Amino acid sequence: GTMAVVLPHGVLFRGAAEGVIRQYLIEEKNYLDAVIGLPANIFYGTSIPTCILVFKKCRKADQDVLFIDASNAFEKGKNQNHLTDEHVDKIINTYKNRATIDKYSYAATNRF
């Protein structure tokens, strides 16, 4: 199965227990399929940047992890930023095709 989780961007960098969990999900279970960085201020009530972590249970051992930086892909609104349909389509197509796009996405090896 596949699962996508929206989290604060800080979850990618903090240590302690979060670091141990990241290491377990990536190195031991190989569940992490993609990391999608989203713009700041797209969720009501908070201006922090967020990310989407995509997990897949049945990944091949040598399959790369896709990183997408969509943090600059937004339309500025009065009180919050918005992803347009074009931005969402680009994210989805990049993920589906696992495309490497200069300064936007990169498939990184997970060989440790």
| pLDDT tens digits, one per residue of 15-73 | 899 999 999 999 999 999 999 999 999 988 888 999 999 999 999 888 999 999 999 99
User: Cα(45)–Cα(49) distance, rounded to whole angstroms?
Assistant: 12
**Domains: count for the chain:** 1
Boundaries of domain holding 86: 2-108
User: 57 phi and psi, to 5 degrees?
Assistant: -80, -35
pTM equals 0.91
What's the CATH number where 92 sits? 3.40.50.150
| Cα angle: 44, vertex 68, 49; to 5 degrees | 25
Q: How far is CA 59 from CA 29, 65, 77, 78, in A?
A: 9, 10, 38, 41
